[in-house]
Amino acid sequence: MKIATWNVNSLKVRLPHLQEWLAAGGPDVLCLQETKTEDGKFCVPEIEASGYRCCYSGQKTYNGVAILSREPAADVQIGIPGYDDPQRRVIAATFAGVRVVCVYIPNGESVTSEKYKYKLAWLEKLTAWIETQLRTYPKLALLGDYNIAPDDRDVYDPKAWEGQVLCSEPERQAFQRLIGLGLVDSFRMFEQPEKSYTWWDYRMNMFKRKLGMRIDHILLSTELAPSCRSCVIDKDMRAKERPSDHAPVTAELAL
């Protein structure tokens, strides 16, 4: 079973890219972020024509998450239970006994911003919920746009970014608290190329200059991690015409 995550930065604009990927043998389960699409306008016919089902939680203009899958989803959960967040950032469902949690973690804007406080508070809510989810679902995958570069090697210029949003210690500690629940960064289970990133700023030719950050992740529970055979970033998607600024990440599970 292949599971993947991709921040599409508008599903409407990226639908052709998505359809091409799915037609060429896409993952079995695909978590999407920043769909920027209201539920009533979700492109269900196009997804189904590609041979996938979907569940989604979206809103106009901002945020929005979805899970596409070849098999039907079970036990779909929208949002973090007990957390009344108007921003559509979480959807979870179960596939073949694997709990798949799709997250779009807040960006935070800058470490002095109110949005940064929201990001850290949001991460605490997520962590508490994932802790309980792991008890219910020992086989769990937490996929999405984390907006956190967990390590200096995940940043093109760690000196310049030191202490900045995406790289600050509180954010990295929050990431490590998730790891501490019993999760593994699947990407780092394997030898990877130097300068592996998942996001490159549209500006300043950052992609061509190979200057990016690794902020999209697939974390696997300790029970699920041993079945992981690979984890790769699909950089080609970022090289296409009119790309998302994020590339997809795919993990292959021997299930």
As annotated, the active-site residues are 104, 145
Contact between 57 and DNA per CB under 7 A: no
- In this chain, which of 17, 134, 199, 232 binds DNA, going by CB under 7 A? 199
Q: Distance of CA 251 to CAs 66, 94, 95, 169, 240, Å?
A: 18, 16, 15, 27, 22
Residue whose entry in the numeric block shows the structure tokens 């079995």: 28
CB nearer to DNA: give 112 or 254: 112
Nearest Cα residue to 199 out of 254, 249, 245, 237: 245
Element of type H or E holding 169: helix 169-180
Q: Which one, 36 or 88, has the nearer CB to DNA?
A: 36
What one-character-per-residue DSSP string does 80-145 give? Answer: -TT---SS--EEEEEETTEEEEEEE----SSTTSHHHHHHHHHHHHHHHHHHHHHHH-SSEEEEEE
Residue 168 within binding range of DNA, rule CB under 7 A:
no
Distance of closest approach, residue 86 Cβ to DNA, in angstroms: 13
What is the C-alpha separation between 92 and 204, in angstroms, rounded? 36
Per-residue x/- track, 92-111, DNA (CB under 7 A)? --------------xx-xx-
- Cβ 52 to DNA, closest distance in Å? 20
> Is position 121 an interface residue for DNA (rule: CB under 7 A)?
no
| Choice from 28, 29, 36, 130 touching DNA (CB under 7 A) | 36
User: Should residue 7 be labelled a site residue for DNA when binding is judged by CB under 7 A?
Assistant: yes
**Widest pairwise Cα distance in the chain:** 47
Could you please report the per-residue DSSP string of 9-32? S-HHHHHHHHHHHHHTT--SEEEE
Least Å distance between CB 176 and DNA? 19
| Contact predicate 252/225, CB 8 Å | no
Interface with DNA (CB under 7 A), residue from 1, 6, 9, 253: 9
Binding status of residue 145 toward DNA by CB under 7 A:
yes
Site of interaction with DNA (CB under 7 A): 7, 9-10, 12-13, 34, 36, 60-62, 106-107, 109-110, 115, 145, 147, 165-166, 199, 201-204, 213, 215, 242, 245-246
